[in-house]
A and B are shown apart, each in its own frame.
Chain A
């Protein structure tokens, strides 16, 4: 049996998973929608990953999780490591692109920038407050224009004269967009303008004050949009690298970190068939009223967290 490592990235919109070998080659990968059910999505990811590899040949000796539901799914998978998204993305990306200097990322609901020097992150910023630079903004504007957001990129590339759109914040951008439609701007110009707006909003917000040096790798759901890719390339005057595996960087990083942790913990694909339930318990021992999350596997408590002090510890 050869050793393999599993990584899962559970975001609010999508859940991604990989299995890698000791040389960090990807053996299996899955991408699907979270649909508000991180445990269910993770189980599906695990099932599909299992179907992609030969279980007689490989044995998963360590698992790592990242993303917003990393702790919960980490408990489910008996993970060796549970890591924040920034570290996981930085590790994943620098492994595949050892010379990368800047990682741009725009996801469905948040965006981040990571500056890299000699293969390690030296600066980062993340933004979860302003929606104007994210995928959900593009999706909602596409709806307004009656266009499928997947078509956005191609349409934008057809524009010779992108409409300038004020992109300081979502509210401004929306009213400006309505105004530009009424003025009779061409649809492809408006769409190209929106793509520019997203890129500029990003550069002016989280990219502010950061040295954006090449090679630049662009990731996250929005990186699939050629219009935004071109907008970044134009604004920065640099080539923008979009990796076809860009969406996997978080889970890939988590798998590498699981390997690097040196902690081997038995992982079983059977978790996909077990029942996991979470329950929230309010600690009544002091006015902090901590909300303690308890995770049960087939009725048995396997983990709990959320208590600020030891008086709130819940044991099985």
Chain B
């Protein structure tokens, strides 16, 4: 590695590069480069330099890394733990090195890191002069950012389909994101969050008492990245549905289902990034789906099944299962979803994305699905 100062980057995943960038800049005191927003070019670039058979997330990340390094990044962050992404870091590293890039990889999945302390140590290596207290100081802000993004998006998904003024939610949301990039302190984030939620609540909407409700479940990366899933949530919401998605960074890495402090502490102490949706959730979710599966099929499959069961039992009108083409854990979850669908008589739309999925095809299927569940609901109500 050259003597150039470190400049970190993290692949696009929804809007989470905002908190990650904040952590790097303010916590580690290092430079951070956001990869450019994902485009067709990112995917093509990623696909070109990836083995054909790997799942789409690998290719997207590859494209992001290349574009970010072209912009000056020289340390790429790889988070993982979900199934094959656990060793995809090594593959990314090898391919990028072969392409001639000069960089380091902060591979947060390496076995040597073990628990949370190991990971922190691994991160610290890049900022040896930084004091622990300086790093620790930004953690609450980073966590607040993640939770704010998740809550704001959650509110959007549930309400934007019923807005009276087209585009009104989107406008506030865009403003929120651009302001969040400028936030410096926890207080900034908090104020922005409250302001955004207040603006949302003032928007004129006409939401029925019993709206069409759709739950989105599926593979970790594709479900959280709107570019990869062709904005499936927005598409369905805008047809006139309340869209729910449990899976996000708050639920998968930050928050904890335990409600007393001691249990929480114990959970966090045993924190294991290799278990999914996270070591904090996985056991309780597995218990809930005992009647459907006895084994953990890996990656986000436990959360997929647990949430499918939860949404179905809560009387949702339909579920959308989202995954990248060739994703084995989620493929294994499908027969279980068939059972849930039959038990609760809830329709499920299965979408499998590859890097060449056509927007029209997805739109058509989503529309047909929405028509079906909304007509069914109407017939039941009358």
A299 to chain B, nearest CB (A): 27
CA distance A40 to B375 in the complex (A): 34
Interface size class of B (residues with CB under 8 A): 10 to 19
Contact of B368 among A86, A118, A209 (CB under 8 A): A86
Q: Are A287 and B372 in contact (CB under 8 A)?
A: no
Q: Check A287/B376 contact, CB under 8 A, given A87-B367, A87-B368.
A: no
Number of interface residues of A (CB under 8 A): 21
Contact code string A112-147 (vs B, CB < 8 Å = 1, else 0): 000001111111101000000000000000000000
Q: Which residues of chain B from 359 to 374 have any CB-CB distance to chain A below 8 Å in the complex?
A: 359, 364-365, 367-368, 371-372
Q: Check A120/B372 contact, CB under 8 A, given A84-B367, A87-B367.
A: yes
B226 to chain A, nearest CB (A): 11
**A286 contacts the other chain (Cβ, under 8 Å)?**
yes
Residues of A within 8 A of B368 (CB): 84-87, 124
A306 to chain B, nearest CB (A): 9
**A186 contacts the other chain (Cβ, under 8 Å)?**
no
**A289 contacts the other chain (Cβ, under 8 Å)?**
yes
A137 to chain B, nearest CB (A): 22
Contact of B376 among A83, A122, A209, A308 (CB under 8 A): A122
**B379 contacts the other chain (Cβ, under 8 Å)?**
yes
**A316 contacts the other chain (Cβ, under 8 Å)?**
no
Residues of A within 8 A of B367 (CB): 83-84, 87
Closest B residue to A112 by CB, please name it. B368
Contact code string B344-360 (vs A, CB < 8 Å = 1, else 0): 01010000000000010
Q: Are B372 and A124 in contact (CB under 8 A)?
A: yes
Residues of A within 8 A of B347 (CB): 122-123
Closest B residue to A70 by CB, please name it. B364
Residues of A within 8 A of B201 (CB): none
Q: Are B41 and A288 in contact (CB under 8 A)?
A: yes
Q: Are B376 and A121 in contact (CB under 8 A)?
A: yes
Q: Are A120 and B379 in contact (CB under 8 A)?
A: yes
B382 to chain A, nearest CB (A): 11
A103 to chain B, nearest CB (A): 12
Contact of A120 among B39, B365, B375 (CB under 8 A): B375
A177 to chain B, nearest CB (A): 31
Residues of B within 8 A of A288 (CB): 39-41
Q: Are B41 and A120 in contact (CB under 8 A)?
A: no
Interface of B is mostly: helix
Q: Are A121 and B379 in contact (CB under 8 A)?
A: no
User: Interface centre among B42, B359, B371, by most A CB within 10 Å?
Assistant: B371
CA distance A231 to B286 in the complex (A): 45
CA distance A288 to B338 in the complex (A): 36
CA distance A287 to B227 in the complex (A): 14
A11 to chain B, nearest CB (A): 13
Q: Are B371 and A287 in contact (CB under 8 A)?
A: no
Q: Are B338 and A121 in contact (CB under 8 A)?
A: no
User: Interface centre among A122, A209, A289, by most B CB within 10 Å?
Assistant: A122
Residues of B within 8 A of A87 (CB): 367-368, 371-372
Contact code string A68-88 (vs B, CB < 8 Å = 1, else 0): 000000000000000111110
Q: Check A287/B39 contact, CB under 8 A, given A87-B372, A209-B338.
A: yes
Residues of A within 8 A of B365 (CB): 84, 126
A316 to chain B, nearest CB (A): 20
CA distance A123 to B364 in the complex (A): 15
Q: Are B40 and A289 in contact (CB under 8 A)?
A: yes
Contact of B379 among A85, A118, A209, A308 (CB under 8 A): A118
A120 to chain B, nearest CB (A): 5
CA distance A85 to B368 in the complex (A): 8
Residues of A within 8 A of B359 (CB): 308
CA distance A85 to B378 in the complex (A): 20
B252 to chain A, nearest CB (A): 28
CA distance A288 to B365 in the complex (A): 23
Residues of B within 8 A of A123 (CB): 347, 372
Q: Check A84/B379 contact, CB under 8 A, given A121-B372, A123-B347, A287-B40.
A: no
CA distance A42 to B338 in the complex (A): 40
CA distance A126 to B369 in the complex (A): 12
Residues of A within 8 A of B40 (CB): 287-289
A114 to chain B, nearest CB (A): 9
Residues of A within 8 A of B39 (CB): 286-288
Closest A residue to B366 by CB, please name it. A84
CA distance A286 to B36 in the complex (A): 11
Residues of B within 8 A of A122 (CB): 345, 347, 372, 376
Q: Which residues of chain A from 78 to 105 have any CB-CB distance to chain B below 8 Å in the complex?
A: 83-87, 90
CA distance A202 to B376 in the complex (A): 26
Given contacts A83-B367, A84-B367, 8 further A-B contacts (CB under 8 A): A84-B364, A86-B368, A87-B368, A122-B345, A286-B37, A287-B39, A289-B40, A308-B359
**What are 29 A-B residue pairs whose CB atoms fall within 8 Å in the complex?**
A83-B367, A83-B371, A84-B364, A84-B365, A84-B367, A87-B367, A87-B371, A87-B372, A117-B376, A119-B379, A120-B372, A120-B379, A121-B375, A121-B376, A122-B345, A122-B347, A122-B372, A123-B347, A124-B368, A124-B372, A126-B365, A286-B39, A287-B39, A287-B41, A287-B42, A288-B40, A289-B40, A289-B41, A308-B359
